[in-house]
Chain A
Amino acid sequence: AQKVTQAQTEISVVEKEDVTLDCVYETRDTTYYLFWYKQPPSGELVFLIRRNSFDEQNEISGRYSWNFQKSTSSFNFTITASQVVDSAVYFCALIAPFSGGYNKLIFGAGTRLAVHP
């Protein structure tokens, strides 16, 4: 069965601290895709990154970085020098086969990050 686990329900940090959000996934497929989405207090869902199972290179985008490790089935997300604007719920998601040729997006339960001044 396919599953995404975000064990950290809530994280609270002080501005400028680094913070890592954990994501562990389960799938039997050899080809799969992983995503991170951000949901700020305003409620919309913002796409952050997509990674396919054949690309284990870490990625950095400004203060954001992602560490994909197939050996531990993890796709962790680190925010360096956090800012108040980073406060949001972050979702990790996995693409998995569903039916009729459609790949379903399976979401984790989300991690709520609060960054305090």
Chain B
Amino acid sequence: NAGVTQTPKFQVLKTGQSMTLQCAQDMNHNSMYWYRQDPGMGLRLIYYSASEGTTDKGEVPNGYNVSRLNKREFSLRLESAAPSQTSVYFCASSEGSGTPIGNQPQHFGDGTRLSIL
């Protein structure tokens, strides 16, 4: 009964380092999302994937790249980490595909706490 699994749970990076956050879901959902959560700002969408093989930018995509490896997995990459990217990152998935998507409840992973020094 895993749902959405994110790894790692915690990570500390130095400025300029790169890293990939992993996300996998076992609910056979078509749509997957990456958010960042900053104090007092709720969650903001970084990238989303409406279906396997497609990815699109969200509200705050700069400094990030994503890969929808298959239906289950959606990874987020920081190529050159900056202190402004210190945040808690959440992956989510939902049912549905086609247009429009996003009306179904999104199910979230436990988050990755990322600190960039």
Spell out B's residues near A (CB within 8 Å).
40-43, 45, 48, 50, 56, 58-59, 88, 90, 92, 98-111, 113
Contacts and interface: CB of A to CB of B under 8 A. Distances in A.
A109 B5 CA distance: 24
A74 to B, nearest CB: 18
Given A104-B58, A105-B45, A42 B102 contact: no
Contact of A97 (B42, B45, B100): B100
Interface string A1-44: 00010000000000000000000000000000101010000111
What 5 A-B pairs have minimum CB-CB distances, sorted nearest first? A101-B99, A107-B42, A103-B102, A45-B108, A44-B110
21 contacts: A43-B111, A44-B109, A45-B43, A45-B90, A46-B108, A47-B106, A91-B42, A91-B43, A97-B100, A100-B50, A100-B56, A101-B101, A102-B100, A104-B45, A104-B58, A104-B59, A104-B102, A106-B42, A107-B42, A108-B42, A109-B41
Nearest to A6: B42
B100 A101 contact: yes
Nearest to B9: A43
Contacts of A109: 40-42
B105 A44 contact: no
